[in-house]
Amino acid sequence: MPENSTTRSPAGSGAIPGLRWGILGTGYIAGLQTSDLVEHGFTVQAVGSRQCATAREFAARFRLPASHGSYEALVNDPEVDVVYIASPHPFHYENTLLALNAGKHALVEKPFAMNARQARDMADLAKSKGLVVLEAMWARYLPHMVRIRELIRAGDLGEVRTVIADHNQNLPKDPEHRLNDPALGGGALLDLGIYPVSFAFDVFGAPVRTQAAASKTATGVDRQTAVIFEYAGGQQAVLHCALDTAGPNRAAVLGTGGRIEIDPVWYTPTAFTRYDDAGSVVERFDQPVTGRGMQYQAWEVERLVAAGAIANDVLPPQGSVQVMEAMDAVRGQIGLGYASDARP
């Protein structure tokens, strides 16, 4: 478990004066991130879309100074220092390379890429240019996750043996919806499963063995996937995701000296209860969070830039590569392939 010395809380922290954000994409997730940026005092300078009208509408909605009718124009805007990549995940690779090659730092929506090959290219390019590229796995920076890492590191759960996490939602059934379209990286694993998979990595790191099973939709993507990660010390992570059935969306960490049960929805700002090995409550953690909570990952980008660093201990680019390697292994077992896998 890496030390979480790099994550700041809102108290006494804030945006870096002069660091200017550009938003690449105007969809739902872009709106959520931009709302948290604006609410918490970040400088959001511009937005870029493939359509001028869409960019103008988004800029007007959030009162941004500039809008661009192409991603190229956004990343080449001299008034933009860091780009939030909010395009659908099949386009993260090309859009991230576009931003990095323009000399911009990048916060990239999860999943980081479509596969490990793409993730390595992204990490390598950022390193060669001395730029920050951070996967927007916002859950890792939320207060309850910070506290969980502290407890595990301190040994308050004894020897941690098991992680259990699910992410199940009842999402659109339209076969042309991006979630059901193989050409758009559809399926439960990449869109939903990335959360429990990344959580398992946060606690245990990379597994030594992976077992996976899935059921497919009529369009050929996974509608539900179950995964077991096994580790050299005998630990296990038991993970599940589904896109057509609503679930409890809970998570737990089990140790020889106690356990943590995270309230729904475990990967959003929420609370948890810690029990000792006799089942008695020893801690109830419930720290209020303003907005949706996506400001924490943006604070981390700005902290890295201010420190002249390009990686942290919470989720360095190589960590995102390892997560994608595990996702590739799962897809190999369940027979889920994408066009991007065949590209050189």
Q: How far apart are the C-alpha atoms of 262 and 160, rounded to whole Å?
A: 15
pLDDT of residue 162 exceeding 90: yes
pLDDT of residue 5 exceeding 50: no
Closest CA to 261 of 335, 162, 189: 162
Helices (H) and strands (E) in the chain, counts: 10, 14
Domain-wise residue ranges, the chain: 20-139, 143-288
Q: What is the CATH number of domain 143-288?
A: 3.30.360.10
Position 335 scores a pLDDT of 97
pLDDT of residue 18 exceeding 90: no
pLDDT of residue 156 exceeding 70: yes
Residue 321 burial (10 A CB sphere; 0-12, 13-18, 19+): buried
Position 269 scores a pLDDT of 98
Among the ranges given (135-139, 150-154, 174-178), the one the predictor scored with the smallest mean pLDDT: 174-178
- Per-residue pLDDT, averaged over 235-250, amounts to 97
Q: How far apart are the C-alpha atoms of 271 and 198, rounded to whole Å?
A: 19
pLDDT of residue 15 exceeding 90: no
pLDDT of residue 212 exceeding 90: yes
- Per-residue pLDDT, averaged over 26-51, amounts to 97
Q: How far apart are the C-alpha atoms of 97 and 103, rounded to whole Å?
A: 10
DSSP structure class, residue 197:
H
Q: How far apart are the C-alpha atoms of 63 and 56, rounded to whole Å?
A: 10
Percent of the chain, pLDDT > 90? 94
Give yes or no: 110 in active site.
yes
Q: Looking at the domain 20-139, which fold is it? A: Rossmann fold (3.40.50)
Q: How far apart are the C-alpha atoms of 330 and 326, rounded to whole Å?
A: 6
Position 13 scores a pLDDT of 53
pLDDT in tens, 87-131: 999 999 999 999 999 999 999 999 999 999 999 999 999 999 999
> Both tokens of residue 102?
């323009």
pLDDT of residue 11 exceeding 80: no
**How far lies 311's CA from each of 3, 170, 220, 323, in Å?**
13, 35, 37, 16
In the block, residue with structure tokens 């996750």 = 145
> Both tokens of residue 178?
């991006």
Catalytic one of 104, 110, 129, 173: 110
* DSSP H or E run through 311: none
